[in-house]
Amino acid sequence: MSKIEKALNKARTAGMLQVMSPAEPIAAGQAQFSNPETLSTGKTIAPTLEQRAISTGAISRMREDGLLGKDILVQNGIIYPEAGENATVRAFREIRTKILQKTGGRNGTIMVTSVTRHGGGSFVALNLGVAFAFDAGKTAMVVDCNFSNPTLQNLFGSRKNRGLTDYLEKSDIDVSEIIHPVGIERLRVVPSGGRREISAEYFTSFKMKSFLDSVARRYAERFIILDAPPMTETADTRILADLCDYALLIVPYGKVTEQQIIASAKAIGEKKLIGVVFNNNTRPPNVRWRKIFTNPFGILFRRRAYRIPKK
């Protein structure tokens, strides 16, 4: 990365300029061209069909290499469009549709937070991003804001990537350096970077706000999804909620009471809360009952078809 590029990036993060990332030069250029209102108002607006066409073209030119296979996706708890009849996939499509209905088709920053720890917030955030990215005309970016318990890092395996904390802490890191493709079409991920216990200072920083603004503006059809820490665990999530356009509350199965849900919804605020997702992880999978009953030993002595995949 040249010095000029770094300078441009700095200017862009300060909200003054829109600069193309080297990974997405053409798309960025198109975005700049196609979003004059975004520049002038600093707010996302609903794109026209024409703009969408241009944007789609730009998105289609996003460089995607090393896409992950379905097996690996599914082993990592990530949906894929071909599994259309899968209940989980259907559920995410439904969520996506409802969000689009509520936002009027505008892109925006959506914070996904669970009521409690292990509530499936990261799972929903990632898959919601994937669901948005199903559409060839849309792109999504999942930002891991859960500094104390980051999970998106797992997508990269043992590969160490720069993340949000690195970007916020260091001034010489460009935005493009923390946005990583993960092998899923039209999906970009910003990992959390190093593990941090206190996240409030990051969320309140100006850099954080400008970062969110800049990534939202890059593509008119890009949905920024923030994987936020659980509501009941830290008050920092509320700070993060202020930075977002919308918030999605995840209710895990059998872990929280109605009062906790109501308290969390109140903390987020009625305006921001776009809806609640009930993460019911108890529904049994489609097992072959007949085979279990008729030929149980056949199941037990068969070689495992699925090996643990390498990430």
In whole angstroms, how far apart are CA 56 and each of 50, 136, 213, 287? 10, 7, 20, 40
| Number of chain positions touching other proteins (CB under 8 A) | 57
- For residues 129 and 281, give the distance between their C-alpha atoms in angstroms, rounded to a whole number: 19
Site string for other proteins, 85-124 (x = CB under 8 A): -xxx--xx-xx--xx--------------------x--xx
Q: Does 248 interact with other proteins (rule: CB under 8 A)?
A: yes
Q: Does 71 interact with other proteins (rule: CB under 8 A)?
A: yes
Q: Does 64 interact with other proteins (rule: CB under 8 A)?
A: no
Q: Does 281 interact with other proteins (rule: CB under 8 A)?
A: yes
Q: Does 262 interact with other proteins (rule: CB under 8 A)?
A: yes
Residue with tokens 């409030």: 200
- For residues 276 and 273, give the distance between their C-alpha atoms in angstroms, rounded to a whole number: 8
Bridge-based pairing state of the strands 187-190 and 180-181: antiparallel
Token output for 303: 């070689």
- For residues 164 and 173, give the distance between their C-alpha atoms in angstroms, rounded to a whole number: 10
Among 164, 208, 244, 274, binds other proteins (CB under 8 A): 274
Q: Does 172 interact with other proteins (rule: CB under 8 A)?
A: no
Rounded to 5 degrees, what angle do the CA atoms 138, 160, 77 make? 50
Among 4, 257, 271, 290, binds other proteins (CB under 8 A): 257
8 Å CB contact between 114 and 121: yes
Name the one range near other proteins by CB under 8 A: 4-12, 75-83, 180-188, 217-225: 75-83
Q: Does 286 interact with other proteins (rule: CB under 8 A)?
A: yes
- Smallest distance from other proteins to CB 258, Å: 5
**CA 243 to chain CA mean position, Å:** 15
Name the one range near other proteins by CB under 8 A: 145-153, 158-166, 213-221, 303-311: 303-311
Question: What would you measure as the largest C-alpha separation in the chain, in angstroms?
Answer: 70
Give the H/E segment covering residue 110: strand 109-114
Between 20 and 248, whose beta carbon lies closer to other proteins? 248
- For residues 261 and 116, give the distance between their C-alpha atoms in angstroms, rounded to a whole number: 9
Chain residues that interact with other proteins, rule: CB under 8 A: 71, 74-75, 77-79, 86-88, 91-92, 94-95, 98-99, 120, 123-124, 127, 248-249, 251, 253-258, 261-262, 265, 273-288, 291-293, 296, 299-300, 304-306, 308
